[in-house]
């Protein structure tokens, strides 16, 4: 009798835990380093909503914004180890993974317009770049836009010569290093989460980022000057751990793919407006002056920075740079 009841309760317990197990959702930990109130932050939230709805709760997306889980370099390691499943690092952060070609996006003036950017990210070049991630155990699901970068510092910046000797925070991209050196500045690699404090304490004098990042991290509160240089681009690749992705049930993977397609459209649709709004908010704050270059000054910045495209051919590949530039020519840019 006693044995029977023990067996019975064991059976009941295993049925309960079996049912609980069957219902346990697949968790996608999505880590990123920016505020929720940015193009990337908002697109991540949109993906979560769409993915959870499409899979009827079989998938749960947990978003960890603002480097709450991992900083720049750590998050890529965590993805490869499977500690997180999804990231959207900026394209300037793939070099340390051994995929230097992504730094093509960092080249000064490589995208004369957003249309040229989309021709690259949504065309053959974008596909080829994503394929390079697979041997690293990573799958690329989409490119998310952010915007063109402004420069910030504590002194007015009208001409490239104004950057001389300035200590400027950059992301871990050799192209950005070369870009700052071409201006006579002293580049320093720092994780995004460390930038505000580094600016505040004078560890660095200035930095570059699209206005959405500058504003949401309150960098304008610790920088006296911002110049709208639009000298370079910053965007993202949404990536997943390949083992995790390949191991998903096929129907779930298809639903997530669809959710990602919609989230990508959304990201790209809001990016420009988010950055325009952020720049307006920076101006309104009155905490920093925002300077817009004259055409003559713009020409000086181009003259100083364009040689970086040639200088980086050895690292990124002459053909890749030429092919990206060709997309511009196809769309009517010289």
Q: Which is nearer to ligand LMR, 43 or 50 (CB)?
A: 43
Cα–Cα distances in angstroms (integers) from residue 104 to residues 70, 73, 311, 324, in the given order: 25, 19, 12, 8
Q: Which is nearer to ligand LMR, 94 or 301 (CB)?
A: 94
In the complex, the smallest distance separating the C-beta of residue 30 from ligand LMR, rounded to whole angstroms, is 13
In the complex, the smallest distance separating the C-beta of residue 72 from ligand LMR, rounded to whole angstroms, is 6
Q: Which is nearer to ligand LMR, 126 or 147 (CB)?
A: 147
Pairing of strands 233-241, 86-87: antiparallel
In the complex, the smallest distance separating the C-beta of residue 238 from ligand LMR, rounded to whole angstroms, is 12
Interaction with ligand LMR in 274-293: which residues (CB under 6 A)?
A: none
Three-state SS sequence of the chain: CHHHHHHHHHHHHHHHHHHHHHHCCEEEEEECCCCCCCHHHHHHHHHHHHHHHHCCCCEEEEEECCCCCCCHHHHHHHHHHCCCCEECCEHHHCHHHCCHHHHHHHCCCCCCCHHHHHHHHCCHHHHHHHHCCHHHCEEEEEEEEEEECEEEECCCCCCHHHHCCCEEEECCCHHHHHHHHHCCCEEEECCHHHHHHHHHHCCCCEEEECHHHHHHCCHHHHCCEEEECCCCEEEEEEEEEHHHHHCCCHHHHHHHHHHHHHHHHHHHHHHHHHHHHHHHHHHHHCCCEEEECCHHHHHHHHHHHCHHHHHCHHHHCHHHHHHHHHHHHHCCCC
Q: Which is nearer to ligand LMR, 160 or 210 (CB)?
A: 210
> What residue number has its CB nearest to ligand LMR?
90
Q: Which is nearer to ligand LMR, 121 or 171 (CB)?
A: 171
Binding mask 74-113 for ligand LMR (x = CB under 6 A): ----------------x-----------------------
Interaction with ligand LMR in 212-231: which residues (CB under 6 A)?
A: 213
In the complex, the smallest distance separating the C-beta of residue 73 from ligand LMR, rounded to whole angstroms, is 11
In the complex, the smallest distance separating the C-beta of residue 207 from ligand LMR, rounded to whole angstroms, is 8
Tally of CB atoms within 10 A around 47: 28
Binding mask 24-53 for ligand LMR (x = CB under 6 A): ---------xx-------------------
Number of residues engaging ligand LMR in binding (CB under 6 A) = 8
In the complex, the smallest distance separating the C-beta of residue 176 from ligand LMR, rounded to whole angstroms, is 10
Binding mask 136-175 for ligand LMR (x = CB under 6 A): ----------x------------------------x----
Residue 238 binds ligand LMR, judged by CB under 6 A: no
Pairing of strands 167-170, 186-189: parallel
Binding mask 177-206 for ligand LMR (x = CB under 6 A): ---------------x--------------
Binding site for ligand LMR (CB under 6 A): 33-34, 90, 146, 171, 192, 209, 213
């Amino acid at each position: 009798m006693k044995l029977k009841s023990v067996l019975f309760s064991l059976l009941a317990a295993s049925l309960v835990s079996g049912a609980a197990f069957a219902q346990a959702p697949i968790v996608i930990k999505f880590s990123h380093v920016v505020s929720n109130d940015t193009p990337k932050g908002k697109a991540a939230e949109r993906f979560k909503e769409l993915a959870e709805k499409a899979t009827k709760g079989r998938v749960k997306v947990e978003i960890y914004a603002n480097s709450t889980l991992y900083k720049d370099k750590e998050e890529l390691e965590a993805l490869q180890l499977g500690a997180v499943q999804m990231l959207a690092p900026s394209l300037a952060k793939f070099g340390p993974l051994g995929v230097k070609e992504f730094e093509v996006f960092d080249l000064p003036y490589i995208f004369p317009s957003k249309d040229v950017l989309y021709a690259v990210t949504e065309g053959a070049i974008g596909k080829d770049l994503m394929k390079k991630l697979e041997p690293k155990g990573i799958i690329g699901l989409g490119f998310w836009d952010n915007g063109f970068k402004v420069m910030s510092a504590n002194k007015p910046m009208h001409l490239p010569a104004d950057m001389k000797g300035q200590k400027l925070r950059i992301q871990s991209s050799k192209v950005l290093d070369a870009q700052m050196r071409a201006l006579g500045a002293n580049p320093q690699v720092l994780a995004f989460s460390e930038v505000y404090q580094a600016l505040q304490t004078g560890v660095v004098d200035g930095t570059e980022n699209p206005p959405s990042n500058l504003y949401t991290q309150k960098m304008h509160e610790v920088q006296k000057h911002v110049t709208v240089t639009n000298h370079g681009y910053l965007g993202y690749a949404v990536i997943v751990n390949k083992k995790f992705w390949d191991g998903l049930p096929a129907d779930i993977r298809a639903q997530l793919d669809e959710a990602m397609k919609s989230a990508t459209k959304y990201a790209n649709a809001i990016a420009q407006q988010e950055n325009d709004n952020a720049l307006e908010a920076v101006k309104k704050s009155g905490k920093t002056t925002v300077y817009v270059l004259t055409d003559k000054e713009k020409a000086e910045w181009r003259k100083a920075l364009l040689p970086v495209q040639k200088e980086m051919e050895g690292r990124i590949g002459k053909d890749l740079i030429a092919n990206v530039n060709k997309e511009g020519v196809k769309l009517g840019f010289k």
